[in-house]
Amino acid sequence: MNLTELMTGVTPDASYEGWVTNDDMVFAIDLTPGETPATLETAYAVVQMGIEGLDAQLNPVTQDKQYIRAGQSTMKTGTQRTFKVTGDKYIGDEAQDFMLSHAVKYGTGNGVVTNYVYFNILTGKGEKGQVSIIVNSDEWANLRPETGDGGDTSEYIDYSKLNRGKGLTYEQRYGEEKAKELRKFRSKTLGKNSSSRKGKTLVELYGQEKAAEITEANRVKSLGRKTPHKSETKLKISAARMGYKNPTFCCLVCRKELGINNFTQHQNTHLKKETVQE
């Protein structure tokens, strides 16, 4: 729902006098920030569907200073506006889909900044500006609030009984657009060939040598033994126990002082030279 649809049949009165409730406050956001031409405010999406709480706060920014013979003085240097949104997840609502998209959840900087308006529907008075959308928690079945309220059942949902679309494709569960977004995110986190790895052996995936190394490491772990440390790691552990943070070692051949990370490689260089001379 956009602002035009919400305000259909509603005429704000700037001289209104009376009580105001949370339902009288409207919070709407721009779904296409940065586009040219700029999105009209009347086309902003209203944050409403499935929303239980919209906690709008004004946080003063202050600076304390201690002056001579005057004591401590606190000066207000600014005000930070924050909105804490809690409720239940509703797939298909434009505002929720935008705020919980991967681009916003995992975005940074200007990538999560959008325009907003916040006003009283009775008087038409309010404010507009820009906000950074920071997502703290989300679930496909439920958007959980950080704290529980009376009668709140979101903390007691048995997720094992929810129909999460087992056996269905992404397209069947979420539609073409959402499926494309999920597949793109999956390829970034699991690798481009994540879907093609199923059913293949380690040799087919990594080659004979790497597969043997992985198999041996798994065998050692199954026996309850830790994977043996490399020589550099052993030296680091030994030096740390003796209290040395950045120890150096002297090569017995050329008397050159080296750090732990380069010591073994340096020794191997001498061994190669000796082999060539022979």
Q: What pLDDT, in 10s, does the model give residues 73-110?
A: 888 888 888 888 888 888 899 999 998 888 888 888 88
The mean pLDDT value for 148-167 works out to 42
pLDDT digits (tens, 9 = 90+) for 247-265: 677 777 787 877 766 767 7
Confidence of residue 7 (pLDDT cuts 50, 70, 90): very high
pLDDT of residue 188: 60
How many domains does one find in the chain?
4
Give the structural domain span for 206.
Answer: 201-228
Indicate whether 192 and 143 sit together in one domain. no
Indicate whether 15 and 135 sit together in one domain. yes
Among 60-64, 192-196, 197-201, the range with the most confident prediction by mean pLDDT is 60-64
Indicate whether 22 and 148 sit together in one domain. yes
Provide the H-helix boundaries in 77-131.
94-99, 102-105
Indicate whether 71 and 132 sit together in one domain. yes
Q: Which residues contact 86 (CB under 8 A, 6 or more apart)?
A: 51, 52, 53, 55, 143, 145, 146
* Alpha carbon distances (Å) from 64 to 39, 57, 61, 152: 41, 22, 10, 41
Confidence of residue 123 (pLDDT cuts 50, 70, 90): very high
Indicate whether 143 and 14 sit together in one domain. yes
Question: Per the omega criterion (within 30 degrees of 0), is the bond before 37 cis?
Answer: yes
User: Measured between alpha carbons, how far is 146 from 133 in angstroms, rounded to an integer?
Assistant: 16
Indicate whether 209 and 189 sit together in one domain. no
* Alpha carbon distances (Å) from 186 to 139, 172, 194, 195, 223: 17, 17, 8, 10, 33
What are residue 191's phi and psi, to 5 degrees?
Answer: 105, 150
Tokens linked to 226: 């830790």
CB of 4 within 8 A of CB of 42?
Answer: yes
User: Measured between alpha carbons, how far is 41 from 30 in angstroms, rounded to an integer?
Assistant: 8
pLDDT digits (tens, 9 = 90+) for 202-238: 777 778 888 788 787 777 666 665 555 566 666 666 7
Kindly report the average pLDDT of the chain as a whole number. 76
Indicate whether 26 and 97 sit together in one domain. yes
Among 14-18, 101-105, 172-176, 229-233, the range with the most confident prediction by mean pLDDT is 14-18
What are residue 89's phi and psi, to 5 degrees?
Answer: -75, 135
Tokens linked to 54: 């919209």
pLDDT of residue 221: 67
The answer on pLDDT for 177 being more than 50 is yes
pTM of the complete model: 0.49
Confidence of residue 163 (pLDDT cuts 50, 70, 90): very low
Indicate whether 60 and 189 sit together in one domain. no
Indicate whether 219 and 237 sit together in one domain. no
pLDDT of residue 79: 85
Indicate whether 188 and 77 sit together in one domain. no
Identity of the amino acid at 200: K
Indicate whether 42 and 72 sit together in one domain. yes
Indicate whether 153 and 124 sit together in one domain. yes
Confidence of residue 278 (pLDDT cuts 50, 70, 90): low
